[in-house]
Structure 1
């Protein structure tokens, strides 16, 4: 395949400098940015204390950025050491607020002088030479240029050996056959000498056999290319690719291109072409000066189409190389900018409908679920928190390509493009898309299963290496990257199933979001298909009408975006157990179905549209949940089970998961706002729910609203229980490391890991049951399957009721029957609820507050009790 690159993609030497050394006191964040040539290795350190290394990395791009939050020692000055060239640059750290040296930085130039560190001699790599026929000696150049001084400069080079070399950085000496050991000592600018370092030069006798005949190299000009100009474009830049050329007994030393226009003689050569067909030829020479025969490539540039692309396939057919999300962003920057602020990318957002205290706050004054989009405040009844687990364990389903999102787009254009290119469009716009971490991996050790089926740490562990190990992330930013999981990815080494097409065809065939592209992630929340939500599973990709009439191709055939699209790549809708919102709008069924039954009456008790003002449509139209795919009802972290499929096939330990099918919801008032636990909060502020077995559970996700709350409605709910560790001293939850549990099967190890990472090693903890409510919004059935009135009203029921309206939902009377009735008349008794309700509400228009603890002012009933008192 020929790589087609833009003309500005050819590497240009970057200046070695520090672009930024900035202290952001309001975020307790030190940001250092340095530039150098790609491939060079840089180390960022404290200029006055080189033991404090902020970051060291080989440059994949021309910029190295270190972000250090709340450093134990804030440097006053930064040094960047180019470990490839030996060059160093320094820059003072500036406060973003005062533009001066930050207060409290250390050490300063006025501090106690540092003890001089000895230089390090490097006599170079050992060399092996061979004399030519008739030759008795040859000249060898020694190389001490890699010697260095950690806190100064090398001032003097002292070589010794036989013969004795000149005392310069790279002396030349004449050597005969044999082994020659030469030593080097260097002296720094403080007069301190290094330890000695040696180099061994071996000179072999001339070969007695004649040298082999050199074979000619083979030129490969690449595959033919077809391109099309865009509307208004008169020329484009095409890259000729000679990288397929080879030499069977050496290496290719030079490239010679020929054609019109005449390309540059490099392995990758850019040419600007207008409409037409062009032939270019390539000849290469090897390291012995032998030249190949020529090879040709044809480049065809077609005129711009006069018609705009009619389909997504036509619009994306010009993609011949997929270089990650940047390929999409080059044309869709506006869409990426809109997505940048979304919950899908940031993994957090404004918590407009959360009523418990939220910190930290954004610069706008609105509460946010975490800074930099990391959502680190979150914990629920299904998992611990990614706060104390490796990044890759939770990042897989968010649309970021592995790097932490910046909460705001950078102003610098280069940084801005890099940030937008972290938004992986294929996550939502390609049904078949899969991805896998790329880069370096470190070994993973998994505790082996014992004879009792439980983890046994005394047995030799299961060791995963290579791509079966753990992706290595940046030690400061915690960033890593994904790659498409096609047949060329490291996923294949793991034994996983790659996506059905290569990355280029996946990019060419992108499409609007579908149920499948959304459910690729949302159906598997909590670790498995249907596990978490109860009303979202793979069954909704194309459900039967009895599972969901809205999404069924035999019903309305709606996509997720038909209901949830809020415009601007934002989504409306929120379950009560979720913290952030993309938009402030409360998304309800009334958005499409306003009084759908056509029978509204403020007095008639059987009016369904009157019921709909206080009973959510879902209550009657989702009679059961977990249809087709079971959902989890309880998770027990103290009962581990080994799964060979865990962690993308690496294998690992999972908690016991109790699941069930076709469940009946519970019911609760919900006004669109809720209280959801935030890490660090005192659990004393959270309600306790009595479970069916009579035990208590702390409710982490609680809907707000009651019978007398304006806009509150009765909703169907899923309930879920689990176990969590509670820090005894603070009475707050501990975000146990889910990764350590997957690795060891020990809940205690997972908790201890979290305590250690948060500076609380050794603190005591208790294990308690936690609980949450979750709204059910999907799985709407046809009206013929809706609940009948008798499912909830005793006077109409022939069997058990779904809900206790009087005792659980606030519809009980405000006193005993005799007390309530005698407000207006003597207790007449003997009348059914239906007759009493019709007489008081339907016939006389008496407001609910006359007999109950709530009112219904929107129905225009009469709340004046005195008017009804009999003489």
Structure 2
């Protein structure tokens, strides 16, 4: 917190702003006396003024953070839209050390998770479903079920091609979400709204490519960040991620990512890409500023970044249903595969209770392709032989004599 001034977080007038080229100094139009007399607690706005714009714009890299969270409907985010939570109610702070972090950066001031408020057994009922859901918590992160989609409030960028930048004559086309597919300063984009996450085992640690790390350019794609976890690791849980795909530059001799100089320092700047559209000059200047060697030759490579889905938590009755993950429950036989049939318990109703993609589609969400879907998280891709109801969990064998059924 040593390089963030107090008013960025504690202004309540909504008028405090910076001049981009003034090295962090306030804009000359700000009434500093009025702002100083109006300091107060942080809010979604003061936090969001920075965090809603990660990557240079709303919902660019963070799939679940945008200005829509200033006043979201409860179906977009139950905490902020249903209970009017401010960010600090989850991101607890002591001595200005704020718990929480993005999956793209290391923990600095403390990690946090849903269980900090909800406990390791958050389903507090005493019925059959709650019993099984609490057992699921040993293997599945909360947002896998409770945030089955990301970018519900506003489309997020899922692909960014820097190699296409520089064409001022290119026609900009709006996609079906109303988002621009191109910006000459930054290149070509693909956006997605109400997207299904990618699921991976995550044990709380991320593997990251740091500036200067050598890359294997023979690979078709390189993961700049990726979760560390395994089906065999009891500390790992199935967790939801947005994968941010991109095309960016690498040094053709040193095999590390390049840092371009983009924003002009002043009117006399001779190397900024956004002024001269010359990658060669921009890379030479940017690498000099980073105190790293530049060979003078560059290539474009495909990259992926895993971004955790942490916000836009849906109401409990809109979490994924049993059937949406377990294809074995979709037919006539449901929970009675294991449990004695009981006329007082409607197993089929229990198994199907959850996210209603048909309703979401009727409300304008781009989810019609998910209606009727099952095996939502793709068990085989996570290392299972198939549906765990049929083949057993990762640390649990099926009862003796039990045979897999179609």
TM-score bracket for this pair, using the shorter chain length: 0.7 to 0.9
Counterparts in 2 of 1:435 and 1:605: CA distance versus 1, 3 Å: closer
Q: Is the 8 A contact 2:252 2:295 kept in 1?
A: no
Q: Is the 8 A contact 1:579 1:676 kept in 2?
A: no
Aligned to 2:373: 799
* 1:667 Cα deviation from its structure 2 partner: 0.8
Please say which structure displays the higher CA radius of gyration.
1
Aligned to 1:589: 114
Q: Is the 8 A contact 1:514 1:560 kept in 2?
A: yes
Work out the CA distance in 2 between the residues paired with 1:670 and 1:507.
Answer: 43
Work out the CA distance in 1 between the residues paired with 2:255 and 2:25.
Answer: 38
Work out the CA distance in 2 between the residues paired with 1:785 and 1:614.
Answer: 20
* 1:523 Cα deviation from its structure 2 partner: 0.4
TM-score, normalised relative to structure 1: 0.36
Q: Is the 8 A contact 1:551 1:559 kept in 2?
A: yes
Instruction: Answer yes or no: is 1:430 the counterpart of 2:11.
Output: yes
Instruction: Answer yes or no: is 1:735 the counterpart of 2:264.
Output: no
Work out the CA distance in 1 between the residues paired with 2:46 and 2:38.
Answer: 13
Work out the CA distance in 2 between the residues paired with 1:676 and 1:562.
Answer: 29
After superposition, residues 464-543 of structure 1 pair within 5 angstroms as: 471=22, 480-483=23-26, 485=27, 489=28, 502-543=31-72
Which of 771, 774, 786 is matched with 2:319 structurally? 786
Tell me, what secondary structure is at the counterpart of 1:802? coil
Aligned to 1:572: 99
The structure carrying a bigger strand percent of its residues is: 1
Tell me, what secondary structure is at the counterpart of 1:752? helix
Which of 129, 137, 141 is matched with 1:616 structurally? 141
Q: Deviations over 1:754-809 (max 9, x none)?
A: 35554645532221011111100100011121111122222134535322202x11
Q: Is the 8 A contact 1:597 1:609 kept in 2?
A: yes
Aligned to 1:598: 124
Counterparts in 2 of 1:669 and 1:687: CA distance versus 1, 3 Å: farther
Q: Is the 8 A contact 2:201 2:230 kept in 1?
A: yes
Counterparts in 2 of 1:748 and 1:632: CA distance versus 1, 3 Å: farther
Tell me, what secondary structure is at the counterpart of 1:608? helix
Higher RCO, Cα 8 Å, sep 6+: 2
Aligned to 2:213: 681
Q: Deviations over 1:17-65 (max 9, x none)?
A: xxxxxxxxxxxxxxxxxxxxxxxxxxxxxxxxxxxxxxxxxxxxxxxxx
Aligned to 2:304: 771
TM-score, normalised relative to structure 2: 0.74
Instruction: Answer yes or no: is 1:855 the counterpart of 2:387.
Output: no
Q: Is the 8 A contact 2:54 2:61 kept in 1?
A: yes
Which of 704, 707, 724 is matched with 2:248 structurally? 724
* 1:593 Cα deviation from its structure 2 partner: 1.1
After superposition, residues 108-123 of structure 1 pair within 5 angstroms as: none
RMSD over aligned Cα atoms: 3.3
* 1:727 Cα deviation from its structure 2 partner: 1.8
Work out the CA distance in 2 between the residues paired with 1:731 and 1:652.
Answer: 26
Q: Deviations over 1:387-430 (max 9, x none)?
A: xxxxxxxxxxxx1xxxxxxxxxxxxxxxxxxxxxxxx1110001
* 1:596 Cα deviation from its structure 2 partner: 2.0
Tell me, what secondary structure is at the counterpart of 1:767? strand
Aligned to 1:415: none
Instruction: Answer yes or no: is 1:668 the counterpart of 2:200.
Output: yes
Q: Is the 8 A contact 1:654 1:745 kept in 2?
A: no
Counterparts in 2 of 1:558 and 1:745: CA distance versus 1, 3 Å: same
Unmatched 5+ residue regions in structure 2? 170-182, 264-271, 331-371
Tell me, what secondary structure is at the counterpart of 1:751? helix
Work out the CA distance in 2 between the residues paired with 1:683 and 1:638.
Answer: 18
Count of matched residue pairs: 336
Work out the CA distance in 2 between the residues paired with 1:600 and 1:738.
Answer: 58
Q: Is the 8 A contact 2:58 2:66 kept in 1?
A: yes
Unmatched 5+ residue regions in structure 1? 1-338, 346-398, 400-423, 439-469, 472-479, 490-497, 644-650, 689-695, 814-831, 842-847, 849-853
Counterparts in 2 of 1:789 and 1:569: CA distance versus 1, 3 Å: same
Counterparts in 2 of 1:772 and 1:503: CA distance versus 1, 3 Å: same
Q: Is the 8 A contact 1:674 1:702 kept in 2?
A: yes
Q: Is the 8 A contact 1:726 1:734 kept in 2?
A: yes
Tell me, what secondary structure is at the counterpart of 2:257? strand
Work out the CA distance in 1 between the residues paired with 2:16 and 2:99.
Answer: 26
Tell me, what secondary structure is at the counterpart of 1:591? helix
After superposition, residues 349-498 of structure 1 pair within 5 angstroms as: 399=4, 424-431=5-12, 432-437=14-19, 471=22, 480-483=23-26, 485=27, 489=28
Q: Deviations over 1:48-101 (max 9, x none)?
A: xxxxxxxxxxxxxxxxxxxxxxxxxxxxxxxxxxxxxxxxxxxxxxxxxxxxxx
Work out the CA distance in 1 between the residues paired with 2:278 and 2:375.
Answer: 42
